[in-house]
Structure 1
Amino acid sequence: MCRNIHTLHNFEPPATEEEVHAAALQYVRKISGTTKPSQANQAAFDLAIEEVAAATGKLLAGLTTNAPPRDRDTEAAKAKARALIRYTR
């Protein structure tokens, strides 16, 4: 489940709200142990996603680095190459 959580810091352009929300969703799914909560737990699940996304946004806004911003396409190509090696053994 958590393989979909990607590094969001130090990219140009910065992470979008959709990327932050997707990471929060994956995190909440992982720690709750479910991809689809019961109706009784839906409100708590949704609230957790909102709070994790907000905390993630604050974290990303507060982080600083001297490294040059990374390129999404370059990082995606590197990940694809690693996956090719990992899954063709």
Structure 2
Amino acid sequence: MSCIIWLQIFHTPGKNMNVNKAIITIEYAGVGIKMAAGNFQMGVSNKTPEFLKMNPIGKTPEGPLFESNAIARYVAHGSSLFGSSKIEYVSFALFLCYFL
């Protein structure tokens, strides 16, 4: 099964725990994305009409998907990161919920 990625541009104010979680998963899944250009300022950039059109709650990390766990699960789906058994899947879920 292949993973079709429509997450192409990643908007973030910089690296933090949630951003790192998404970026680590993206890198391990072998998905190519680009970081949004510009000087993103949390509290300013995420309140613009353009940003709120992409993400009505104004949170980051952001792409067409928002929330780091959702991004990580979406990117991991169809890759080997989900594993081939329930215990392997739970290991990935633990990574999302606990380790980061």
Same fold (TM over 0.5): no
Name the TM-score, length of structure 2 as normaliser: 0.33
Larger radius of gyration: 1
